[in-house]
Amino acid sequence: MIALLTDSTCDLPPEHARQLGIHVVPLTVHLRERRLYDWQDIDPDAVYDHMKTGGMATTAPVEVEAFTRRYRDLLRTHDEVVSIHLSGKLSDTVNRARHAAQTLGVAHRVHVIDSGLASTPLAEAVLAAQRTVVAGGHAQDVNRVIEDMRSSMSAEFSVATMEYLRRGGRIGRAQELVANMLGVRPILQFSDGELKAVRRIKADVAPQDMLDKLRERFGREPISVTIAHAGRDTGRITALRTAVGSSGLNVRKGRVQLIGPVIGAHVGPGTYGFMACPVA
C-alpha cells in the first residue's frame, strides 16, 4: 500500500483531500505575531482581509520534525509513502522532507518529489498521483505521471494590484508606479520551478489574453480547466467563469479553487489564474 502525502500549498480544501485519502502537512503563516497552520488554523480570506488593511503576512516551511512524525505514522500502515511538494525554488519544504526521510533511515520507503509547482498546478499533479495510486500504480508510476502532468499542463496567473508584489520585495516602488500608470499587470508562469513574469498585459484584457494562450496551446482538444482565485469574490469568480465559457475552449471538466493562505500571503488578494490540461 502507498500513502500519498503533500503539503498545504496545493490549496486543496482539507475536507476534499481527506475524502480522497490524500494526507496534507501544513506550512505556517505568521500573522500579528501568531503562528498559524495553513488551511487549518486560518482561512484564506482572513489573510486577505488582513493584507487589505495594510497588514503583513509571512510564511515558513514545514518543520523537519513534522515530516518525521508524519512519515513514521504513515509507514506503520503503509508499505511506502510518496511525498509530493511545492517547488524547492519557492520553499525549503521539499528539502526538509528529504532530510526527515534520511534521518529516519527510510529513504528507500519514502519517495520525495519536488513538483516544481505550487497551488492549483500542484493540486492537479497531486490529484493525478492519487488516481494512479488508486489504480494500483507504484511509486515510479506516480513520478512519471507527475512529470507528464507538468509537461502537458498550462497555467498562468496575474495579480489584481502590484502593491503586494512590492510589499514582498519582488518589485520596487518605481516598478509599481510605472505599472499602475500604464495599467499593466504581469502574466506569471511556472518555469524551472519558479514563478516568473513571461509578459505584461493591460489589466483589463489580461484574462482574455491568458485564455487566448490556452486556445493557442490546446485548440479544440478536450481539456480540464481550473480557475484559481485569491479570495471569495463571487462577482469576480463568476466573471472568470463566464470568460472561460465564451473562450472557445473545449472544456470537458472544470472547477474553481481558492488560492490559500501561504501562497496568498505572497501574491495578495485578487490574484487569479487559469490552469488547463488534456483529458481523455
Domain boundaries, the chain: 2-27+62-151, 154-278
Q: Is the pLDDT of residue 70 over 60?
A: yes
Query: How far is Cα 231 from Cα 269, in angstroms, rounded to an integer?
Result: 6
Phi-psi region of 257 (alpha: psi -120 to 50; beta: other; left: phi over 0): beta
Q: What is the DSSP letter of 118?
A: -
Rounded CA gap, 195 and 184, in Å? 18
Angle at Cα 214 formed by Cα 209 and Cα 218, nearest 5°? 150
Greater confidence, 190 or 178?
190
From 83, 87, 76, select the one nearest 99 (Cα to Cα): 83
Domain boundaries 2-27+62-151, CATH class = alpha beta
Question: 89-126 pLDDT, tens per residue?
Answer: 999 999 999 999 999 999 999 999 999 999 999 999 99
Contact indicator for 195, 116 with CB cutoff of 8 Å: no
- Is this prediction's pTM over 0.75? yes
Nearest-angstrom CA–CA distance, 96 and 149: 24
Q: Give pLDDT, residue 280.
A: 73
Strands 223-229, 251-258: pairing kind: parallel
Average pLDDT over residues 224-245: 97
CA dist 123 and 126 (Å) reads: 5
**Can you read off the three cell numbers belonging to residue 135?**
489504480
| Cα 230 to Cα 226: distance, rounded to the nearest angstrom | 13
Q: How is residue 214 annotated by DSSP?
A: H
Cα gap 253→172, rounded to integer Å: 39
The residues that bridge with 24 in the sheet, in sequence order, are 6
Is the pLDDT at 183 greater than 80? The verdict is no
Q: Of all residues in the chain, what percent carry a pLDDT higher than 70?
A: 92
- As beta bridge partners, residue 68 has none
CATH number of 154-278: 3.30.1180.10
Reply yes or no on whether the pLDDT at 85 is more than 60: yes
Predicted pLDDT at 184: 79
Describe the crossing of helices 93-104 and 64-77 by its angle, rounded to 10 degrees: 60
What CA–CA distance (Å, rounded) separates 161 from 166? 10
**Count of C-beta atoms within a 10 Å radius of residue 109:** 17
